[in-house]
Amino acid sequence: MKILITDGLAKDAIAALREFAEVDEHFYEPDALGEALKGYDAVIIRSATQIRQAQIDIAKTGQLKLIVRAGVGIDNIDHAYAKDQGIHVRNTPSANANAMAELTLAQLFAVSRFIAAANVTMRKGEWNKKNYRGVELAGKTLGLIGFGHTARLLADKCAALGMDILYYDIVGADDQVPYTYADMADLIQKADFITLHTPASKDGKPLLDGSAIASMKDGVRLVNCARGGLIDEAALLEALTTGKVAAAGLDVFVGEPDVNLDLVNHPNVSVTPHLGAQTYEAQARVGKEVVDVVKEELC
C-alpha cells in the first residue's frame, strides 16, 4: 500500500502508517497533483492542498481509493464528485474540536478586553489604560452560527462563564442541548458576540455580508476561526471603522497567507495565522484518527 501525505502529519502518526504502508511526504502544485495521485492508494491532506475535479479525473485512472482530510471541513475537496468516481473521502471531525473551541474563546476574551491592541501599544512604551475599557462576557448573548463539535464545546465553556447561548444550524434545533435555537436572522439581531462554525459556502459567497452586518446590534463583536471568506472582509473593515462592529477576532482569511493588511492592522482586530488546530494535543488526536481511518478503509 502506498500513501501520500501532502501537508504534514504528526510524527507518531507517520510512524504508525509506515508499519503497514509505504509513505511519501511531498506537496504538489495543482497542475502536478492529479498525475502524482495515480501512484497512491490514499492521500492525506490538510487545508493547503485542493483536490478538485481536474485532479480527480486524472487520479481515478490510477490506484487512488481514499482521500483523508486531516481536519474538520472537506470543502477543499470535490468530495461528491470523488465519491461518484469510487474514491472514498473521509475527515477527522472531532479531533480538532477542543483546540478550535479554546482558540475561539481566547479570541472572545481578546475582542472584549483590547488584549491585542494593548499588547502592541505597551511594547511601544505607551500606557493607555483609560483607552481600553472593555466589556465582560458574563451576562452577554453569544450567537453561534453552525452547531457542530466545536460550537457545542464552545457553548459549554461560554455558558460556564455566564453567557446566554443562541445557536443556529442548517439541520435545525437539537432538543438534547440546554441552549436556545434561533434562525440566523434572529440570532444576528440579538447577539452581542457572534462566532462562526461552518464550512465555506458552496457558491463562495460570504455568509455574513454587508447587509447581515448592518442588521446586527451596534457594537457587536465577531469571531471567525472557521473559514476565510465567511465574512465579507471589505464590509467588516467598513463596519469596524464606523464602530458598527466594535471588534473582530480572526484566525482565517481570504487568500491566506496573503491577507488584507488594512483589516489585519485595524486597532480593534485581534488576529492569528490560522492557529485553530495548532496544539500538540489536537495534532496527536488528528494523527491517531487518520491512522484509524486508513486502516478501516484499506486494511
Report, as residue numbers or ranges, the catalytic residues: 227, 256, 274
* CA pair distance 148, 167, nearest whole angstrom: 10
First to last CA, the chain: 9
Report in angstroms the alpha-carbon separations of 19 from 14, 138, 250, 295.
9, 50, 39, 11
Q: Is 192 exposed, middle or buried (0-12, 13-18, 19+ CB in 10 A)?
A: buried
Q: Is 197 exposed, middle or buried (0-12, 13-18, 19+ CB in 10 A)?
A: buried
Mapped onto helix, strand or coil, the DSSP state of residue 155 is: helix
Instruction: Give the count of beta carbons closer than 10 Å to the beta carbon of residue 124.
Output: 7
| Contact criterion met (CB below 8 Å) for 112 and 136 | yes
